[in-house]
Amino acid sequence: MFTKNRFTGNNQLDKNVTEKIISSHLIEGQMVTGDQIGLSIDHTLTQDSTGTLAYLEFEAMGVPQVKTKLSLSFVDHNMLQNDYRNADDHKYLQAIAEKYGIVFSRPGNGICHQLYLERFSKPGYTLLGSDSHTPTGGGIGMIAIGAGGLDIAAAMAGEAFFLEMPSITGIKLEGSLSPFVSAKDVILSLLKKLTVKGGVNKILEYFGPGVETLSVPERGTITNMGTETGATTSIFPSDEVTKLFLQRQGRGNQWLELKPDKNVSYSELIELNLSDLEPQIALPHSPDNVETVKNVEGLPIDQICIGSCTNSSLRDLKMVASLLKNRKINDHVSLTISPGSRQVLENLVSTGELLDILKAGARVIENGCGPCIGIGQAPATDAVTLRTFNRNFKGRSGTQNAKIYLVSPETAVASAIYGKITDPRKLENYPKLNMSEKMLIDDNLFIFPTTKPHSRKIMRGPNIKPLPDFLPLPTILTGEVLLKTRDNISTDDILPGSSEIMSLRSNIPEISKHVFRYVDSLFSKRALKKGGGFIVGGENYGQGSSREHAALAPKYLGVKAIIAKSFARIHQANLVNFGILPLTFISKQDYKRINQSDILSINVKDLKNIMSLTNVNKQNTIRVSLNLSNREKRMIKAGGKLAAIRSKQVDY
């Protein structure tokens, strides 16, 4: 049930959890929906597919040490070492961490969001991460936001993080989950309601009696995949359940109670009774294409992958082990398990539960992200693959014609046993999980900074190229429409994953050759030949991953502006960061008035909220909006965020 009401902030005495954290970190602006605010950032995290670029940007800022309370660098994506490139990048990342005072997580230690939740998360803190699933930290009561690497670099340099003050949607949870229904089914149900753009410029805050029935890992699953709604972040209160989680991690002294006050309001209210939920499944090729499992069961499957930052916690894999015990997977199904961290793996080993997984016929692969971004475990031609991951965009698995379904660990196991999509309730005996009072904790693969950082030369492999320089915005932008896209174009569509492409993340000239590779294979050559131009997009342009390469590589190819019906939050910020104008159709019908190959022109001497775009071919004018703050407009004029910081044209 949705109930809407106008929201401009609660009174000074009564605040929800979001307002409490934002107000304590507010540097600039007011907590009024739609206004620009600046937040101080306590923690940052990067991962290796976005981190190399972020640290190149940080180096360019000339700051001797990170200025956050804690910054972390994780290697969890590009661990497949086919040649020197990934290995060189990892060596670079480790040296950067040692030099600038950053905690470094070595390959094989685990997935950044799982590790962060276990070892570093703190209720009431702010976290900015160069990965769109950073909101996982909201499961423990943090404002945790995904952003582009340049925003992370600026935060490490002590700059505020600026964003539009989101509206706050309250999600009231009642009841408790039934057997074989899990946190994944909660967020899939919400995705069906909200869609992949229903959370844009919103924070989803969970409250109500149902909250206390969910463990922190379950809450992390929900906040992690809240990203797929387009939400800025998602957050749970910090309560006795949170305290127990931190105590098990040996960090009980870091607990802080953080709950909404009595008389608070929300811009929207969603009421969800956990007791009413059934097992859910997202059908190809969108996380919001959701159905109940019972309505689609029976479809034969080829592959199942359990893991990712959404469903690789100890709770999830204990459930997997319990359901697989004394059972065997179907002969025609490949089942892989990716533990979220070394801690998860060691605890499964110590209890013997890993043996139950192995005896059932599962393959256990490295603690990391690989299959989620098409690095390893690419399914066969036309295969049906079930994954406990967060995204099922076409081609994301590494196989363009594979059909990806998103499910809970419970549904994944039932389907692996029967060889077809199966409602997990068919397994009947629901196990009771035994969680130990104290986890086995192993921090051996973390390298913590010393009080005296080293000053030795940082090695840069031949694949690590300097950042391109971008010039200030000219007075007039003129060029051809290089591409016109559909709705919901993702950053995977703009710049795909896979081991071949992601190994080029430190080499902008080379990675730029793959822009829109599977949408239009000639795009990059055409863009260079034409001297750049424009892109026309539909709704929710740039949804998905935070990878700033999806803005930087088009910029390198000469893309001057993107005119779309609407933009995903992180991608729009990345476009601004690299000096690409994100223009929005005032009338969405005008989308139909522009075709690929049309010549467009726009005067950008004065960046106004409403501007006129001329279609030279058709001799007509289209009104577009530029929904940016004055600060962002100054950045665009300077040629992007890094240029603005260097030239001191942006005041923080």
Same domain, 422 and 564: no
- Domain membership flag for residue 463: no
Percent of the chain, pLDDT > 70? 97
Q: Report CA torsion sign: 230, 130, 82, 334.
A: negative
Tell whether 401 is covered by a domain: yes
Residue 304 lies in a domain: yes
Q: Is the model more confident about 635 or about 455? A: 635
CA 388 – CA 409 distance, rounded (Å): 6
Same domain (yes/no): 510, 381: no
Query: For 455-477, what is the mean pLDDT?
Result: 86
CATH number of the structural domain spanning residue 512: 3.20.19.10
Q: Does residue 58 carry a pLDDT above 50? A: yes
Residue 309 lies in a domain: yes
CA dihedral 350, 353, 358, 362 (to 10 degrees): -120
Residue 369, domain CATH = 3.30.499.10
Q: Looking at the domain assignment, is residue 514 inside a domain?
A: yes
Backbone dihedral angles phi then psi of residue 164, each to the nearest 5 degrees:
-75, 130
Contact present, 480 and 595 (Cβ < 8 Å)? no
404 and 482 in a single domain? The answer is no
The mean pLDDT value for 267-272 works out to 96
Note whether 512 and 399 are same-domain residues. no
The domain containing residue 302 runs over which residues? Answer: 280-427
- Does residue 353 lie in a domain region? yes
Token match 């992390």: residue? 220
Domain contains 308:
yes
Which tens digits make up the pLDDT trace of 373-410? 878 888 999 999 999 999 998 888 888 899 999 999 99
pLDDT band at 498 (very low <50, low <70, confident <90, very high): confident
Residues 612, 524 within the same domain: yes
Q: Exposed, middle or buried, 399 (CB in 10 Å: 0-12/13-18/19+)? A: buried
User: For residue 651, what pLDDT is reported?
Assistant: 52
Which residue did the predictor score with more confidence, 564 or 6?
Answer: 564
Last residue of a domain, one of 409, 427, 445: 427
Are both 488 and 622 inside the same structural domain?
yes
The Cα 139–Cα 350 span in angstroms is 26
Of 81-85, 163-167, 441-445, the poorest mean pLDDT is in 81-85
pLDDT band per the 50, 70, 90 thresholds, residue 156: very high
Token pair, residue 501, equals 């492409």
Share of the chain above pLDDT 90, in %: 80
Question: Which pLDDT value is given to residue 8?
Answer: 44
Number of domains comprising the chain? 2
**In a shared domain, residues 295 and 419:** yes
Domain for residue 207, yes or no?
A: no
pLDDT of 7: 41
Angle at which helices 149-156 and 569-577 pack, to 10 degrees? 70
Check residue 11 and give its pLDDT. Answer: 53
Give all strands of the β-sheet with 26-28 in edge-to-edge order: 26-28, 36-39, 161-164
> What mean pLDDT value characterizes the chain?
92
Same domain membership, residue 487 and residue 422 = no
Residues ≥6 apart with Cβ < 8 Å to 599: 478, 479, 480, 481, 615, 616, 617
Same domain for 582 and 482:
yes
* 613 shares a domain with 524: yes
Residue 5 pLDDT: 37
pLDDT reading at 652 higher than 60: no
Residue 2 has what pLDDT? Answer: 35
Q: 64: which residues sit within 8 A by CB, 6+ positions away?
A: 100
Query: Does 4 have pLDDT greater than 70?
Result: no
634 and 532, same domain (yes or no)? yes
Check residue 453 and give its pLDDT: 62
- The span from the CA of 387 to the CA of 283, in Å, is 11
Q: Determine which of 122-136, 207-221, 630-644 has the lowest per-residue pLDDT on average.
A: 630-644
Give SS3 for 522. coil
3 has pLDDT over 70: no
Residues 406 and 342 in one domain: yes
Stretch 242-271: mean pLDDT: 95
